[in-house]
Every structure is written in C-alpha cells, then in structure tokens.
C-alpha cells in the first residue's frame, strides 16, 4: 500500500509540466505535419511538372522525327543525341504494331544524397510523354519519352531538408515564445502557491491580483481569507491586551498592581539564586489623603500621576545603571521599584529623593512627604524576607522626618574579580581558549516528550565552571554579549555531531548581536556552512527586544527561516499584542514569562489572560511554553489552560568537568 502511494505521489506532475507537455505536443505535431504536408505538396508539384515536361519533349522530338527521312541511322542518331543531352530514363520509338524500332534506356546509377527510405516513400511515378511520328500522311510510329525521376527526387530531398530546418528553427522560436508567455501567464500561480504555503504556515499574507480572470478570482478569495483572519487576530490581540492591562495594572496610575509585582519579584528572586544583582526600592506617600480633604480628589489624582511620572523619568534617566526595572503601586500609598543588575543604590536613592523634593515643593501648603527605603537582593532572600526588610527600613524612614531615606548597603562581596578589567580578561580568556560548556534546560511537553533543549553557556573562570547568571551582568556592562553568542555558536558547531543531546536546541541571541549587522551576519553565514545544525537550531529572542526593534526582528525571521532554522519569542507577556502581523513571522513557539505562570493556580485573571493567549497563538500555529514553573499544581493548571509544555530544571550532571 505504501509503495503504491509512493508511486502515485511520484507520478504526479505540475500544471506547468502539463502545459509544457501540451505545448510540446502541439509544436511537434505542427512541425511534423508541416514538413510532411510541404514535402508531399512538393512531390505532387514536381510530378505534374515532370509529366508536362515529358509531353512537351515527346511532341517536340516527334515533330522533328516526322520531318526527317525515315532512314534508320538518322532516326537513331537524333534520338541518341536527344537522350545523351537530356536527363531521360527512356526514349523509345515503336512501329504501329508496338514493336520497338529504336530504344534507349538509362541503365547507370545516379550519385544522390537522398536516403533509401526517402526514395521508398517519395518515389515519383511519372507517366511518359507519348507522341505520334508520321511519314507523310501515314503513321510511322509512336514515340515514348520518360524523364529521369531521381534528379527530381534529389531536388525534392534537398527541399525537404531545407523545410525541416526552417520549421525546426520556427519550432524553437515557438518554444521560446511559449516559455515567455507561459511564465507570464503562470506567474500569478506561483504567487498563489506561495500564499497557500504561507496559509499552511499560518502566515496570512496577500498577493497582487492578476489580470487573468480565473486567477484573479482565486487570488481575491485567498486575499479576502487572509484579510478576515488578520482582522480576527488583530481584534483578539486587542481584547487580550485590554484584559491583561486591566487585570495587571492599577487603574488610576497605570502602574503594575500588587499581584503582578509579587509574581515579578518572585521570578527575580528565583534568578537571584545563582547570583544576586538586583535591588528593591519602597516609597510611601505620607498624608496623601489630605490632598483630597483639603483641596479635592481630582488634585490627589493629579499628584499621584505626577509622582508616577517622576518615578518613570527617574528610571529612564538611569537606565544605563541597570538592565531591567519594574514599577508598581502595591497599596493606596505605597509604591515599589525593582531593578536588576545594579550595584549603586546609594546614588540612585539620592537622585530620586531630590526629584521628589522638587515635586513636593509644589505642594508646600500640605504636609506631604515621600520617604523611601532600598536594599540589595540577597541570594537567600524570599519574597517575605525581602519585603519585610525593606518595609522595616521604610518604617524607620517615616519615623525620622528629617531623614526620610533608609538605604541598606548590603551588597554581597563574593565577586570573583575586583574590577571590570579583570572580568573582561577572564571572560575573553575563556572564549579564546574554548574553556566553556553548555547547560541544557529541557523543554518538555506535559506528556514528557522532549521538544528541545534550551542552551545556556557556562564559562570556566578561575578553574571552575560558572553559569551565565553569574557573569552575564559583567558581560553586558563590558559589551561582550555578542562575543558570547559567537563563542556559543562555534562551540555548538564543534560538538554537534558528538553529542546526541544537542539535536534539538534553542539558543538565545542578545540585543547586541541582533542590532550588530556584522555580528549577526557572521553567525548566520557560519551556520550556512553547517545545514544540519541550522535545521535543528531555534533562535530565542526576547519579546521586549522584538517589540523595540520590530523591523529588524522581522528581517531576522526571514533570514533564519530561509536557512532552515526556527525562531521563538522568549519571556513573552505584556508586549506580545504589540507585535504587528505576528502571524506572518512564522514563529515556532513563544515562551511565557515566569511572572505569569507563578502561582497560576490561584490567579483567575492570569488564567483567563493565558487561556486567550494560548488560543491566539494556536490559531496561527505557534506552540506555547511556560518558563520558570516548578509546582506540579501550576503545571497541571497550565496544561488545562492550553499550554504545550514547560521549561524544566537544567541537566546539571556535566557541570563539574570541562568538556574539551
């Protein structure tokens, strides 16, 4: 059965091939029929002309013979002279009884180039010319004159050859013209096939409507389908974003609410288990309600929004001092700011305090104050211990109106190297000497099937392998992320054939690499030389980077897809709905930020949001994966929502020894 199915698949031909077959048959039939008909017509023409020649020559010779004395010698000399000077097959003079008097017949062989088969099919059967020879008033005899047909057959052969090549050249020109017009006519078909393939990949593109009526109807219908589905996707994204924002943000200020911030903080603390580089600020607006009591509620709302804008401006002006920041309103009067990868909270605290003093100067008639506290995140911190520490600091700041700021300078002093130059030298030394290994985070379906291995680079620093979380902050500060990406790709090329666990992998590319044309071109060009690895690799790009550099991200997706690799979005959440025409990017999967999956079993709003996100992603053929979800209860909830899998704990059994 399978053999027959294979045979049937192989026996199928395309519409273009069928049209070409029909065109070639028509041209071949026209070519052969033209040659045959032309040759046959020429044969008939030559035969009729040769017959007329026989008659004319016979009459002329008979007239000459009638005027001569009937001396046998003279008659024979005249007939022989005529026979020798012309191309005759036979000249014969018979008496009235039919007995030959004089007979000359050509018995030799002519040297012609016409093949035997041509002579067989186109042999000329020409009747001889017949004339009466008289002697006075009496009949002397009958003259038969027959011209030699092989001369005519040779001329016919030469004519046929010329016709053959003439029509052959015409046939070639016809094929060239047919190819041009066929390509022009079927060009819309290629667009239709491309659009159909795109629809199969859940990319709803539109094609130019051709002039051909049948193709125009087909393309218009498919364009209408793409337009309708694109509109549905756009509307779903809009509704999803509206629900997400409403459920995760404070209605008055637009900042994240307490529930969303708690999940974000929990995710940050999980990352800090490897190496803590973050800090938490807590702000409290003291006597906020007095604005509403002494003036009006509108003025209180205005103050809160101005205060929010001050915090946002403070974070934007210091974005080079940390990698990420999160701001939230966690109660009526309390606000929190979480920053990643920072080591100078005293300076940050001083700056934000000054900005708040400028804001409070406009409300000097009201006893307002904005004390705050801040503390570094420690490796062993839980959400409870961190918030308690910062809250106690804030209480102390509120209790001291003259100070209003409490900074816990508990920065951990367990760095391997003392300064930036030492870090640069160590990281570059590890890359130059290939002192590295990969840590694998299996991405599994809920049935246990391995979907891919998420790859993280570990470096050998001071004789020990360290995970990316330990050195990544310094690599980012020193602008070495592109070099790390390049080193990881080269390492994967080196060990790909040796390690079975690297057959399905995903690699995250940094912002430095994506925005550096030379670095990105180097990686993609290098992978082109290893198509097997390219077919098994999936590039992860952070959602925030894709949203900020959408045009570059779209070009990257096209390049990666053309070489057989795949693309996925990582840490997906609030920016997913901002990616325009996401159905045209051909994404393999999206990996949902751990903020949304944390304690999902107890958050109905997050469940509703993620269920809509799964429905939207599945409708355009994208798998949905959960990041940072460890609880079996949360995993079962995500499975019920519609997730396709989750990122599990890393395979850490090779981290003790360096793989050469």
Among 482, 502, 555, 562, which residue's Cα sits nearest to residue 528? 562
Mean pLDDT, the chain, integer: 84
Q: What is the distance between the alpha carbons of residues 153 and 161, in angstroms, rounded to a whole number?
A: 12
Neighbours of 97 (CB within 10 A): 6
Task: Tell me the three state secondary structure of residue 535.
Answer: helix
Q: What is the distance between the alpha carbons of residues 397 and 608, in angstroms, rounded to a whole number?
A: 40
The DSSP code for 18 is H
Task: Tell me the three state secondary structure of residue 208.
Answer: coil
Q: What is the distance between the alpha carbons of residues 501 and 440, in angstroms, rounded to a whole number?
A: 9
Give me the pLDDT at residue 654, please.
40
- Which one is predicted more confidently, 402 or 446? 446
Is 8's pLDDT higher than 70? no
Locate 366 and state its tokens: 């009201």
Locate 321 and state its tokens: 């001092």
Is 31's pLDDT higher than 90? no
The DSSP code for 256 is B
* Cα three-residue angle 134-139-140, rounded to 5 degrees: 70
Q: What are phi and psi of 113, to 5 degrees?
A: -95, -5
Which of 425-434, 453-462, 493-502 shows the lowest per-residue confidence on average (mean pLDDT)? Answer: 493-502
H helices present in 146-212, as ranges: 149-200
Phi-psi region of 462 (alpha: psi -120 to 50; beta: other; left: phi over 0): left
Is 504's pLDDT higher than 60? yes
- Which one is predicted more confidently, 150 or 449? 449
Give me the pLDDT at residue 592, please.
92
Q: What is the distance between the alpha carbons of residues 23 and 18, in angstroms, rounded to a whole number?
A: 9
Q: Is the dihedral of CA 167, 168, 169, 170 positive or negative?
A: positive
Give me the pLDDT at residue 452, please.
92
Is 21's pLDDT higher than 50? yes
Q: Could you tell me how far CA 582 lies from the centroid of its own chain?
A: 13
Q: What are phi and psi of 50, to 5 degrees?
A: -70, -35
Question: Would you report the helix, strand and coil content of the chain in percent, each value rounded to 5?
Answer: 55, 15, 25
Q: Is the CB of residue 338 less than 8 Å from the CB of residue 265?
A: yes
Give me the pLDDT at residue 521, please.
92
Stretch 306-331: mean pLDDT: 88
Give me the pLDDT at residue 567, please.
94
Give me the pLDDT at residue 275, please.
63
Q: What is the distance between the alpha carbons of residues 348 and 246, in angstroms, rounded to a whole number?
A: 30
CATH number, span 420-647? 3.20.20.450
Stretch 540-556: mean pLDDT: 91
Cβ neighbors of 640 (< 8 A, separation 6 or more) are: none
Name residue, tokens 């949360």.
634
- Which one is predicted more confidently, 79 or 3? 79
Q: What is the distance between the alpha carbons of residues 265 and 382, in angstroms, rounded to a whole number?
A: 9
pLDDT band at 658 (very low <50, low <70, confident <90, very high): very low
Q: Is the CB of residue 313 less than 8 Å from the CB of residue 403?
A: no
Q: What is the distance between the alpha carbons of residues 197 and 240, in angstroms, rounded to a whole number?
A: 28
Q: What is the distance between the alpha carbons of residues 78 and 280, in angstroms, rounded to a whole number?
A: 134
Task: Tell me the three state secondary structure of residue 249.
Answer: strand
Decide: residue 342, CB within 10 A, 0-12 exposed, 13-18 middle, 19+ buried.
buried
- Which one is predicted more confidently, 521 or 181? 521
Is 589's pLDDT higher than 50? yes
Which of 203-212, 443-452, 465-474 shows the lowest per-residue confidence on average (mean pLDDT)? Answer: 203-212
Stretch 184-209: mean pLDDT: 73
Measure Cα distances from 220 to 14, 195, 199, 216, 378 in Å.
22, 12, 14, 6, 61
Q: What is the pLDDT of residues 413-442, one digit of tens each?
A: 556 777 888 889 999 999 999 888 888 999
Q: Is the CB of residue 514 less than 8 Å from the CB of residue 546?
A: no
Which of 266-275, 579-588, 627-636 shows the lowest per-residue confidence on average (mean pLDDT)? Answer: 266-275
Phi-psi region of 137 (alpha: psi -120 to 50; beta: other; left: phi over 0): alpha
Stretch 138-158: mean pLDDT: 84
Helices (H) and strands (E) in the chain, counts: 22, 18
Q: Could you tell me how far CA 277 lies from the centroid of its own chain?
A: 39
Is 336's pLDDT higher than 90? yes
Domain ranges for the chain = 15-103+127-173, 277-408, 420-647
Give me the pLDDT at residue 36, please.
84
Give me the pLDDT at residue 488, please.
92
Give me the pLDDT at residue 224, please.
85
Decide: residue 437, CB within 10 A, 0-12 exposed, 13-18 middle, 19+ buried.
buried
Tell me the angle at which helices 517-528 and 550-562 cross, rounded to the nearest 10 degrees: 10
CATH number, span 277-408? 3.30.70.270
Q: The pTM is what?
A: 0.67
Which of 140-154, 192-206, 626-640 shows the lowest per-residue confidence on average (mean pLDDT)? Answer: 192-206
Neighbours of 345 (CB within 10 A): 23
Beta-bridge mates of residue 322: none
Q: What is the pLDDT of residues 246-305, one digit of tens each?
A: 888 888 888 888 888 888 888 888 776 666 578 999 999 988 887 777 778 888 888 888
Name residue, tokens 């809250």.
391
Cβ neighbors of 106 (< 8 A, separation 6 or more) are: 88, 89, 90, 148
Is 625's pLDDT higher than 80? yes
Stretch 485-492: mean pLDDT: 92
Is 1's pLDDT higher than 60? no
Beta-bridge mates of residue 90: 105, 146
Locate 505 and state its tokens: 């992998």
Gyration radius of the chain's alpha carbons:
47
Instruction: Name the percent of the chain lying above pLDDT 70.
Output: 94
Element (H, E) at 429: helix 420-432
Q: Comparing 277-408 with 420-647, is the CATH topology the same?
A: no
Q: What is the distance between the alpha carbons of residues 51 and 8, in angstroms, rounded to a whole number?
A: 60
- Which one is predicted more confidently, 17 or 489? 489
Give me the pLDDT at residue 653, please.
44
Among 361, 360, 385, which residue's Cα sits nearest to residue 371? 360
Q: What is the pLDDT of residues 73-89, one digit of tens each?
A: 888 888 888 888 877 88
Cβ neighbors of 589 (< 8 A, separation 6 or more) are: 451, 538, 568, 569, 622, 623, 624, 625, 644
Q: Is the CB of residue 309 less than 8 Å from the CB of residue 238?
A: no
Among 447, 449, 458, which residue's Cα sits nearest to residue 488? 458
Phi-psi region of 342 (alpha: psi -120 to 50; beta: other; left: phi over 0): beta
Stretch 202-212: mean pLDDT: 73
Q: What is the distance between the alpha carbons of residues 118 and 157, in angstroms, rounded to a whole number?
A: 8
Is 5's pLDDT higher than 50? no
Give me the pLDDT at residue 38, please.
84
Give me the pLDDT at residue 656, please.
39
Is 388's pLDDT higher than 90? yes
Q: What is the distance between the alpha carbons of residues 283 and 272, in angstroms, rounded to a whole number?
A: 23
Q: What is the distance between the alpha carbons of residues 648 and 650, in angstroms, rounded to a whole number?
A: 6
Q: What is the pLDDT of residues 171-180, one digit of tens each?
A: 888 888 888 8
Q: What is the pLDDT of residues 111-147, one digit of tens each?
A: 677 787 887 777 788 888 899 988 888 888 998 998 8
Give me the pLDDT at residue 7, please.
42
């Amino acid at each position: 059965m399978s053999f027959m199915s294979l045979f049937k698949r192989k026996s199928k031909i395309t519409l273009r091939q069928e049209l070409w077959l029909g065109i070639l048959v028509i041209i071949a039939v026209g070519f052969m029929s033209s040659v045959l008909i032309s040759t046959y017509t020429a044969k008939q023409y030559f035969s009729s002309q040769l017959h007329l020649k026989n008659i004319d020559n016979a009459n002329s010779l008979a007239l000459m013979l009638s005027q001569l004395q009937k001396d046998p010698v003279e008659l024979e000399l005249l007939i022989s002279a005529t026979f020798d000077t012309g191309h005759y097959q036979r000249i014969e003079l018979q008496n009235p009884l039919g007995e030959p008097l004089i007979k000359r017949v050509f018995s030799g062989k002519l040297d012609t180039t016409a093949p035997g088969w041509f002579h067989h099919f186109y042999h000329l059967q020409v009747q001889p010319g017949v004339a009466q020879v008289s002697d006075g008033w009496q009949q002397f005899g009958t003259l038969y004159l027959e011209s030699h047909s092989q001369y005519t057959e040779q001329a016919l052969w030469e004519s046929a050859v010329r016709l053959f090549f003439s029509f052959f050249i015409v046939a070639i020109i016809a094929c060239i013209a047919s190819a041009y017009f066929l390509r022009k006519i079927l060009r819309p078909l290629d667009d239709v096939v491309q659009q159909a393939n795109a629809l199969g990949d859940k990319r709803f593109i539109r094609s130019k409507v051709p002039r051909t009526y049948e193709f125009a109807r087909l393309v218009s219908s498919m364009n209408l389908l793409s337009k309708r589905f694109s509109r549905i996707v756009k509307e779903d994204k809009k509704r999803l974003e509206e629900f997400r924002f409403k459920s995760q943000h404070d209605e008055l200020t637009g900042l994240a609410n307490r529930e969303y911030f708690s999940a974000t903080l929990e995710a940050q603390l999980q990352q800090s288990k490897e190496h803590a580089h973050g800090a938490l600020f807590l702000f409290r607006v003291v006597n906020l309600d007095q604005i509403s009591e002494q003036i009006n509620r509108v003025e209180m709302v205005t103050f809160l929004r101005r205060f929010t804008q001050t915090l946002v401006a403070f974070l934007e002006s210091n974005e080079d001092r940390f990698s990420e920041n999160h701001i939230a309103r966690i109660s009526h009067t309390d606000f929190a700011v979480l920053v990643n990868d920072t080591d100078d909270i005293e300076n940050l605290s001083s700056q934000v305090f000054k900005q708040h003093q400028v804001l409070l100067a406009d409300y000097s008639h009201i006893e307002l104050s904005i004390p705050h506290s801040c503390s570094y995140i420690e490796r062993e911190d839980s959400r409870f211990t961190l918030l308690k520490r910062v809250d106690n600091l804030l209480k102390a700041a509120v209790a001291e109106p003259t100070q209003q700021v409490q900074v816990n300078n508990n920065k951990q002093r367990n760095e391997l190297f003392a300064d930036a130059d030492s870090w640069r030298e160590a990281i570059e030394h590890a890359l130059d000497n290939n002192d590295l290994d990969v840590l694998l985070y299996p991405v599994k379906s809920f049935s246990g099937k391995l979907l891919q291995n998420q790859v993280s680079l570990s470096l050998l620093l001071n004789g020990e392998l360290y995970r990316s979380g330990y050195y990544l902050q310094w690599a980012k500060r020193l602008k070495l992320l592109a070099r790390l990406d390049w080193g990881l790709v080269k390492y994967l090329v080196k060990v790909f054939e040796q390690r079975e666990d690297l057959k399905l992998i995903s690699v995250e590319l940094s912002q430095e690499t994506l925005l550096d044309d030379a670095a990105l071109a180097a990686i993609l060009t290098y992978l082109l030389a290893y198509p097997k690895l390219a077919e098994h690799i999936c590039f992860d790009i952070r959602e925030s980077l894709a949203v900020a550099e959408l045009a570059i991200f779209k070009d990257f997706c096209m390049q990666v897809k053309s070489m057989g690799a795949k693309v996925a979005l990582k840490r997906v959440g609030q920016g997913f709905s901002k990616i325009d025409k996401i159905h045209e990017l051909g994404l393999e999967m999206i990996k949902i930020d751990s903020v949304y999956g944390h304690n999902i079993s107890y958050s109905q709003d997050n469940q509703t949001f993620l269920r809509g996100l799964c429905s939207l992603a599945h409708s355009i053929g994208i798998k949905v994966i959960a990041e940072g979800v460890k609880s079996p209860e949360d995993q079962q909830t995500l499975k019920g929502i519609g997730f396709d899998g989750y990122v599990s704990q890393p395979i850490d059994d090779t981290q003790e020894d360096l793989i050469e």
